[in-house]
Amino acid sequence: MKRLSDVKRIGYGAMRLTGPGIIGPPADPDEAVRVLRRAIDLGVDHIDTSDYYGPYVVNDLIREALHPYPPELVLVTKVGARRDDAGAWLPAFSPDEIKEAVHDNLGRLGVERLGGVNLRFMDGHEGSFEDQWTVLADLRSQGLVCELGLSNCTPEQVKIAQDIAPVSMVQNAYNVAHREDDDLIDALDDQGIYYVPFFPLGGFSPLQLGTVDEVAAKHGATHMQVALAWLLQRSPNILLIPGTSSVAHLEENLAAARLRLDEADLAELDAIAA
């Protein structure tokens, strides 16, 4: 299995392959399967997922569409939450819940080892973070997980975790308009830790920015391609997992890897958040 250090800069975030509210099956399950297979055809070697998307819907679709997996595919999941019958996101941080979630993701995806697991913080986080991270470190030592990461985390939590087991990636919200993590990204780059932004295209409120439109028009590119190209050029430790439920959008997003923004573009885009 590849390591994160070997994957392409643009992967795929699978959260969108559900019904509304990240609950239940997608409106078009056949298109969801096509999206996953097209991603692999186009060279995607990094897919972000979780058992709590659906719940289970996305992992089941990934297995249906892609198993047996290409050997180079890195599947990264998340633990630390569960869904109730109404779709609410509930914390699931006890050591037993974390252990069970990793085993459940292994079973659902049908793999003996996960490429990565992120411990995702959320409102209502409880218990000792050190104990929770130690559970994941043990599972990694047992060979069930290749690399570990933190999501929705602070720089202090990264520091504490690093003293227990290596942090390979951080997954926080970040895009051209929301840059609260600027300092963290640079600090992680210095330490050789990948930063995998979620909501790279604005998430539930897709980006709509005049400046991005102007740069896109100059390059004959799309708004979303400029947003992704800006992230790729922002820092070499950024790996992307844009989410989509459509083959057309997937193809558009992956093509952003070929877009080069010049210094003038970058200055204009940088000014959006200033």
How do strand 114-120 and strand 145-151 relate by DSSP bridges? parallel
10 is an interface residue for ligand NAP by CB under 6 A: no
**Shortest approach of ligand NAP to residue 84 CB, angstroms?**
18
| Extended strands (E) in 92-206 | 114-120, 145-151, 169-171, 194-195
- Distance set, CA 66 to CA 47, 172, 196 (Å): 11, 27, 23
Q: Taking the CA atoms of 91, 13, 109 and 138 in sequence, report the sign of the dihedral they define.
A: negative
**Shortest approach of ligand NAP to residue 116 CB, angstroms?**
12
Distance CA 248, CA 233 (A): 24
Chosen residue from 25, 95, 166, 203 binding ligand NAP by CB under 6 A: 203
206 is an interface residue for ligand NAP by CB under 6 A: yes
**Shortest approach of ligand NAP to residue 170 CB, angstroms?**
10
The DSSP output letter for 173 is: B
Chosen residue from 7, 10, 11, 16 binding ligand NAP by CB under 6 A: 16
Distance CA 5, CA 255 (A): 21
Interaction mask 51-80, ligand NAP, x per CB under 6 A: ---------------------------x--
**Shortest approach of ligand NAP to residue 263 CB, angstroms?**
25
Q: Give the bridge partners for 11, in sequence order.
A: none
Stretch that binds ligand NAP, among 98-106, 130-138, 160-168, 235-243 (CB under 6 A): 235-243
Determine whether 53 is an active site residue: yes
Question: Residue 138, SS3?
Answer: helix
Stretch that binds ligand NAP, among 8-16, 131-139, 183-191, 257-265 (CB under 6 A): 8-16
Question: Which residue's CB comes closest to ligand NAP?
Answer: 243
Stretch that binds ligand NAP, among 98-106, 127-135, 247-255, 263-271 (CB under 6 A): 247-255
Beta carbons of 58 and 14 less than 8 angstroms apart: yes
What is the size of the binding site for ligand NAP (CB under 6 A)? 27
Distance CA 115, CA 2 (A): 8
Say which of 12, 53, 69, 194 is annotated catalytic.
Answer: 53
140 is an interface residue for ligand NAP by CB under 6 A: no
**Shortest approach of ligand NAP to residue 67 CB, angstroms?**
19
Residues 6+ apart with CB under 8 A from 200: 174, 175, 227, 228, 231, 240, 241, 242
Active site residues: 53
For binding to ligand NAP (CB under 6 A), which residues are involved? 13-16, 48, 78, 120, 151-152, 171, 198-203, 206, 224, 241-246, 249, 252-253
